[in-house]
Each structure stands twice: as structure tokens, then as C-alpha cells.
Chains A and B, each alone.
Chain A
Amino acid sequence: MEFVVGAALAIFSAVVLAYPFLTARSGVESHAPVLDSPVPPPELASVYQAIRDLTWERQAGDLPEDLYQQQLDAYRRQAALLLRDAAVYSAVVGESDEALEQEVATELAARGGQTPQSSQDTVA
């Protein structure tokens, strides 16, 4: 009895593990994470959070108006730059075509000695 339950558990596990391979072969859409349309860079959220913080602190009377304005402008500009870069980047890369992305990366590397952040450069 106990061995039957054990075997059932093992078989069930094996099926669950094999499922992604089966669906991948039969062409059903895979569950692997796909690169979706230009995601706003994660830094953006923290910049927004910083702006909210700043506002909160000004409301609490912690910040002189001039310092607040100065920092707010800096943050807004930073956020705008992030948005612009994301937009430009996605425009150049297009539909996340890997070949194109690679091309851009090499070009960039040639230009600035720096590759853009992507999951591909981790493998090396």
C-alpha cells in the first residue's frame, strides 16, 4: 500500500516535470517568460517612490521649499530620462528580435565599451 502511494507520487511528479517539454515540442505556447513590450525600467518605480517621499517630507515640514523644488526637478528629470531611454531603446530594438538586439549590443560595445543590460550577457 505504502509503496503504491510512493510510486503514484513519483509518477505524478514525473508527469508534472515532463509537461513543459511536451508542450514545447507540440508547439503549444510555452510558459517560459517572454520579453513583453517595452517594460518601463525598474528604476522608474524607485524614482517615483522617491518623489512621493520627497512630497511627504515637505508636507511634514522637513524640507525648505527651495530644496524641495530643486530635488523634485532633479527627480522628474531623472524619471523622464529613464522613460525616454526606454522608449528609444525599444524603438531601436524593435520586436525584441534577438539578432537585432545582439547587433545593437555589439555596436554599442564597439562604441562605448559597454553592453546594455539584458539576460543574454549573463551567460558569458
Chain B
Amino acid sequence: MAGVLPFRQHSFLCRVKSPSPPFAKGGEGGFRHSIAALSCLLLLSLLALAAVTQRPAQAQTPHDEAEAQAIDRMLMCPVCPGETIDQSQVELARQMRLRVREMLAQGAGRQQVLDFFVARYGVEILAAPPKSGFNLVAWIFPALAVPLALAGGLLALRAMRRRPAAELAPVPGPDVGLDPFLARVDQELTVAAPSDVPRTGSSADG
């Protein structure tokens, strides 16, 4: 029936080794196939392109300003819980942003600016804990936990695989008198889904 045809074609597809132009394949199906693929590609590339067109424009912003904005996002505003000085509109945040720019203009580097504020406000001024000392714990946990979880998942999968697949293995229990029930299964499947009748042959019961 219908299921056989596409199969051939796919094995043909498989022989196309390089991931190069999808329209290399012949046949009406392949052609349509590639149209769909192309349109998808086109859309995505256009979108990405749109994002990228901003790149040359970014050069218009002085380098220091981009850097200052990056630093703004690493410093919390001390008087408003949960906001960085980039986000906050209070006076103190404005003054801190100003100080960041002054320091950069005087030639300070990113780390120096951060250190300056840590010395005055404590580490909690940093939006993320520093990757040193005890605070490494904050960073190590995800780095350890995630591979462990994935490894655990793989182990669990292996354990689930160890026994032979139950449904394909002979089910314990006698098969006496199964035929009438098999017939009923076929009948119910036919009634439930007329269009997708599974083809069942007499070879089915064992």
C-alpha cells in the first residue's frame, strides 16, 4: 500500500552525502520538499539578517559607552531590591552610572570599576557572586549537578533497557482461546478508525 513508496525515496535521500543544496534531489516530492525548506531558511535568514544589520551601527556607540552599559548591568542598585543600576531610575543609580563612566574615562578597566564598588558596598553590589573563594560553590553546583543529572538519566535509560522489551517478548500466560479476542480487536480498530485500518493478516496470531 501507500507506505512503501516514500520509503524508496528516502533511502535515495540518504545517499546524498553532503549537507549541500536540498534541491539537488529530483522528483516532484523532492522539489516541493526543498521549496518548504527554502522558504523556512529564507525567513530565518531574513530575521537574523535584520538583527545583524545593527552590527555596523553599534560601532557608532563609543566603545566606552557599550562597556559602561555592560558594567551597569553587573551592579545592583543598593536602595532598590532586585534592580541593577542600569534598570533603576533613582538618583543613586544615576550617580553610580555617572561614576562608572568617569572611571572608564580615566582609564580604569572593568574589574577595577567593579572592585571600586565592592570595596564600598560589599560583594552584594555585584549582580552575580564572584567566581572565587566560597562563592565558587554557587557556580560549581550547576556545573556539577547538570552533568550528574544527565549521567543519571543515561544510567536510568540503560537500566530500563537491560531487560528485553516486554511487548515484543512472548507474554507469559497461555494463549488458549485468544483468537476470538483477536478478531474483536481487529473489529474494534476497524470501527474506531475507518480511514486508518491497520492491515491485519491471518499471520498475525501466533
A residues lining the B interface (CB < 8 Å): 48, 51-52, 54-56, 58-59, 61, 63-65, 68-81, 83-84, 87
Nearest CB in chain B: distance from A56 CB, A? 7
Check if A81 sits within 8 Å of B173, measured CB to CB: yes
Known contacts A64-B7, A65-B3, A84-B181; A59 and B168 CB within 8 A of each other: no
**Is B193 interfacial (CB 8 A cutoff)?**
yes
User: Considering the chains assembled together, what is the distance between the CA atoms of A117 and B200 in angstroms?
Assistant: 32
Beta-carbon contacts of B178-191 to A below 8 Å, as 1s and 0s?
A: 10011011101100
B residues in contact with A87, CB < 8 Å: 181
A residues in contact with B2, CB < 8 Å: 59
Check if A56 sits within 8 Å of B196, measured CB to CB: yes
**Is B205 interfacial (CB 8 A cutoff)?**
yes
Check if B3 sits within 8 Å of A83, measured CB to CB: no
User: Considering the chains assembled together, what is the distance between the CA atoms of A65 and B4 in angstroms?
Assistant: 8
Q: How large is the interface on B (under 10, 10 to 19, 20 to 34, 35 or more residues)?
A: 20 to 34
**Is B167 interfacial (CB 8 A cutoff)?**
yes
Q: Which 9 residue pairs are nearest across A and B when measured between Cβ atoms?
A: A80-B181, A61-B6, A83-B181, A80-B182, A79-B185, A84-B181, A55-B196, A74-B167, A55-B198
B residues in contact with A63, CB < 8 Å: 3
Nearest CB in chain A: distance from B33 CB, A? 13
Check if B168 sits within 8 Å of A76, measured CB to CB: no
B residues in contact with A59, CB < 8 Å: 2-3, 196
**Is B204 interfacial (CB 8 A cutoff)?**
yes
Check if A61 sits within 8 Å of B198, measured CB to CB: no
A residues in contact with B10, CB < 8 Å: 61
A residues in contact with B206, CB < 8 Å: 73, 77
Known contacts A56-B196, A72-B204, A83-B184; A77 and B7 CB within 8 A of each other: no
User: Considering the chains assembled together, what is the distance between the CA atoms of A83 and B187 in angstroms?
Assistant: 13
B residues in contact with A74, CB < 8 Å: 167-168
